[in-house]
Amino acid sequence: MLYVHSIEVGAVSDRVQRLAFLAACSLGIAFVSCYVLAPLVRSLRSPLRKLPGPWYAPLTTLHLRYAFARGTIWKLVESKHRQYGPVFRYGPRQIWISDKDALRTILQKVDLPKIQMYAEISRDAHSPGLFGEVRPDPHKTLKRFLSPRFTVAHVDKQTHLFEKCIGDLIAKYYQLTKAKAKTDVVVTDLMMDLHGVALDIMGECSFGRGFGQTLPVEEEYLGMEDRIWLQIPHSIFHGMTQRYKMVYIKRWLRGLGIKLHFDWPADMIRAIDAIVRERSDSKDHSRTDLLQHFLDSGTRPDSSAPMNTRDIIDQVSEILPAGSETTSGTIACLFLELLHNPDKKAKLLDSLPVLTATDPIINSKTVRTEPEFRYLNACIKETLRLHPIASEMGRKTGTDWYELAGYSIPPGTVVSASYRHLHRNPEFWPEPLKFWPERWLEDENARDGAPEPDISAYYPFSAGQHSCIGINFARAEMRMVAANVFARFDLEDIMNQHLDFRQYITMQLENGSHKVVLKQRF
Ligand code: HEM
């Protein structure tokens, strides 16, 4: 009897095992069908199949993730544009476009929304800064609130803050060169210097206090508060990098209902909170920096609640890199082009006044309006053409279909606008790889045979609703830094440096370093 029972139990457990095996197989098949086969079939049958592109584009995004993570996406995109032309497919739902009319449609006519990736770099997707805000209405509200602080007139009012920081850079270069004989070689890391001055300018214009990056004070004279303050740029960049690296993991976990929380370092929140309280208690409302603007009238764009310290940090933390990586990177490219084109550098130096270290700093209005700075302005415009710091930017088609460059683009497509490739298209820019500032001179006699620029094929600051809010600020800073350095110093390149670019959000020199030889002109 006992024996019969154990046979029955064995048969039942076999059946249970078989059923469990069948259930697991069915679940596996369902999973593969839902998450692998169905998207694959959809991707292969998508109207995007009509676009040129490599064979693996409909199958995977792994190559894109790898290139984004390594900062080499711009190289791949450039080579694929060369191979396939102005429009190509490079992922199941990812396309790149550099066609002039299509870009105007994407950016200005229909103004496609930003991709979700922008929001992912924010500390909290519900409290992003202007750059990371992808929700159309809060974005509009925030832009309307911030725009008055970025007009030409307002930036002109702030140039005394720029002057202070650029004065520090000139003082540093004077210290380095003053005791040296003409034959001595003085070397400085130009990229680090430009980054430092751009951060100090952002500190002054955001909080009314620079970050001490250009002329650091001796460690022994620094109190704890000062040390934390000097670390703020690092803390912000570190936080952003962490979030950028975690984008895919963060989204995957969110799909499983797990939300990763990021916060700013507690020291940094305390340091900024101290300044916020000091300002709130002060009766002086005459300051022109962003902090004062946030305190006077800042409200959260989604709820209209007054901004608290964390909200203010969230806002500034996106404007800080947007306003420092971009300008320092572009000025670095300007110097690089001039050092690699000695005839253009000589022409520029000839056009500028020669000043001593103690002469007043040339301000942005002077460079903008005085004829002797025309060639410098042309050099800056040409640099922005050859090296648009945002080489490409992601938009998405949302729920609608669009006709772009002769193709029907379905809803849910990620459309990357390839500014850099458009800026290097010989159809609009003859001899596109030549650094040719004369293109931008209005006087035909001074243009020296250079063709007129086609500004409808020029988007260094993008266009439309999401175009750069800092355009006037950026121009003022680039003009002032370049004019004041070149009016006092000559720079020469050092051979055999490895100079390559990597692109995470903006294009940057790969090692964050470019060493040059510095010589006084006075
Ligand atoms: C040479 C310097 C600069 C260049 C080439 C540049 C370029 C750009 C571009 C191309 C965009 C559009 C991004 C997109 O299409 O998604 C952008 C957006 C933005 N830029 Fe700049 N930028 C520069 C300097 C600045 C400065 C100095 C600031 C602030 C002080 C700034 C703040 C911003 C912000 C907040 C956005 C987001 C705007 C929005 O979404 O409405 N930028 N910039």
Is the pLDDT assigned to residue 9 strictly greater than 90?
no
**DSSP 3-state of 27:** helix
CB-based contacts of 157, cutoff 8 Å, min separation 6: 288
Residue 319 Cβ < 6 Å to ligand 1: yes
Asked which of 9-23, 85-99, 224-238, 385-399 is least confident by mean pLDDT, the reply is 9-23
pLDDT of residue 34: 65
Predicted ipTM? Answer: 0.99
CA dihedral 275, 277, 278, 282 (to 10 degrees): 130
Residue 122 Cβ < 6 Å to ligand 1: no
Cα of 445 vs centre of ligand 1, distance in Å, is: 34
pLDDT of residue 33: 67
**DSSP 3-state of 357:** coil
Angle, helices 73-84 vs 62-70, to 10°: value is 130
State the closest ligand 1 atom to the C-alpha of 417, by its place in the atom list counted from 1.
Answer: 15
Which residue, by CA, sits nearest to atom 3 of ligand 1?
Answer: 326
Mean pLDDT of 424-450: 95
Residue 144 pLDDT level (bands cut at 50, 70, 90): very high
Asked which of 225-234, 344-353, 358-367, 383-392 is least confident by mean pLDDT, the reply is 225-234
C-alpha 117, offset from chain centre: 13
Beta strand extents in 207-247 (DSSP E only):
none
Residue 469 Cβ < 6 Å to ligand 1: yes
Alpha carbons 43 and 228: distance in angstroms, whole number: 50
CB-based contacts of 141, cutoff 8 Å, min separation 6: 301
pTM: 0.90
Residue 324 Cβ < 6 Å to ligand 1: no
What is the tens place of the pLDDT at every residue in 48-61? 999 999 999 999 99
Residue 103 Cβ < 6 Å to ligand 1: no
**Of 318, 331, 362, residue with least CA distance to 196:** 331
Mean pLDDT of 441-463: 94
Percent of the chain scored above 70 by pLDDT? Answer: 96
Average pLDDT, the chain: 90
Mutate to test the pocket of ligand 1, among 468, 472, 480 (most ligand atoms within 8 A of CB): 468
pLDDT of residue 176: 93
Give the strand pairing for 489-493 and 186-189.
Answer: unpaired
pLDDT of residue 20: 86
